[in-house]
Chains A and B, each alone.
Chain A
Amino acid sequence: MKSQPRLVEVRKNVLKQNDMAARALRERFQAAGVLVVSLVSSPGSGKTAFLEKTLTMLRPHHRVAALVGDLATENDALRLARSQAPVKQITTGTLCHLEAAMVETALEEWNLDELDILFIENVGNLVCPASYDLGENLRLVLTSVTEGEDKPLKYPTIFNSADVAIVSKMDLADAVDFDWEAASGNIQAVRPGMQIFRVSSKTGDGMDDVLGFLADRLAELRPVVV
């Protein structure tokens, strides 16, 4: 006779495997004194342009590198390689987000001790990357002026998971009647207190503020021993 079903308590985090891999990465990054910054946004909001500019401007002063995730093609890695910084493409196939294990594999041939700042550009997607910790210190969410001001309200989960917001393509703001008050209000609504930078990767406007912010975070990570 078949017995009655019974309930057994399990209590297991479904993303435990990723969380454990992310924790191990975070420990490695910390031990090596590397500031790790991930970038999330919708496709086409200018992550790669922003990153190319950032790498180019940071490279004379810091040892920088980037991992870049996409479903397919090596195009972004080729673009970023123009900055002269070490770059590696992670192609996810059909997967809509990066996972910690992919970052771990991509880093196999790199010596973290030789880096100051590592950037991880996630797959262009405002939904799926939210739940996956990559061991980063900072998560930057980009939103471009051409996307409209209400992206934060439409994708609150990812904006809420980020530490800093970057409003990109500011050089196009006037052309699209971008409403800064509305955009910043929406960002603050879903993530009260989040720092917001306005940049144009094309003209370089606003980039100094972002780079200064990153340099400060790096300095915090590596307290100067007197």
Chain B
Amino acid sequence: MHELSIAMSIVEMAQEEVERRGVQLSAVHLKVGFLTGIVKESLIASYEMACFDTPLQGSRLLVEDVPIIVFCPTCKVQRQLPSMQWFGCSECGTPTPEVLQGRELEVVALEITE
């Protein structure tokens, strides 16, 4: 349900950038961590809605999923979580609350034409 308000923030941010640079936008590259709980399809649909009737209409939202990475205190290394239903080391089984990656919600780049 909050995908629309997030899409609107992205549109607002992108609009500011293209106006400042005096360019046209063809795509927004976005990183979305699994821990944000954001549904990609819903975000893309919301983005199209939020762009409607703005100079950004027709631009695309390209979403890159960011997996959850935790730190295992036993193995002393970073591990990717195989599932969000269990926060622990996939090798040794030690539970760990230390999340290093997966909360990202970041516009990384804009594809523009002059």
Contact = CB atoms under 8 A, between A and B. Distances in A.
Contact of A3 (B6, B21, B35, B114): B114
A191 B13 contact: no
A192 B2 contact: no
Q: Which DSSP category, helix, strand, loop or mixed, fits chain B's interface?
A: mixed
B99 interface: yes
A8 B2 contact: no
Nearest to A95: B5
A10 B35 contact: no
Given A128-B1, A192-B95, A14 B112 contact: no
B2 A128 contact: yes
Interface string A40-74: 00000000000000000000000000000000000
B72 to A, nearest CB: 11
A127 B106 contact: no
- Give the interface centre of A12, A95, A161, A188 by most chain B CB atoms within 10 Å: A12
Contact of B111 (A6, A12, A127, A192): A6
B9 A14 contact: yes
Given A190-B84, A192-B87, A192-B88, A7 B9 contact: no
Contacts of A7: 29, 109-112
A189 B87 CA distance: 6
Contacts of B10: 14
Nearest to A193: B97
B52 interface: no
Contacts of B74: none
A14 B95 contact: no
Interface residues of B, number: 37
Contact of B2 (A9, A17, A127, A190): A127
Given A131-B36, A160-B35, A191-B87, A13 B95 contact: no
Contacts of B106: 11-14
B30 interface: yes
Contact of B17 (A4, A10, A15): A10
A86 interface: no
Contacts of B37: 127-128, 130-131, 157-158
A169 interface: no
B54 interface: no
A207 interface: no
Contact of B105 (A10, A131, A191, A192): A131
Given A5-B27, A131-B38, A193-B95, 6 more contacts: A5-B113, A10-B110, A11-B106, A95-B5, A131-B2, A131-B37
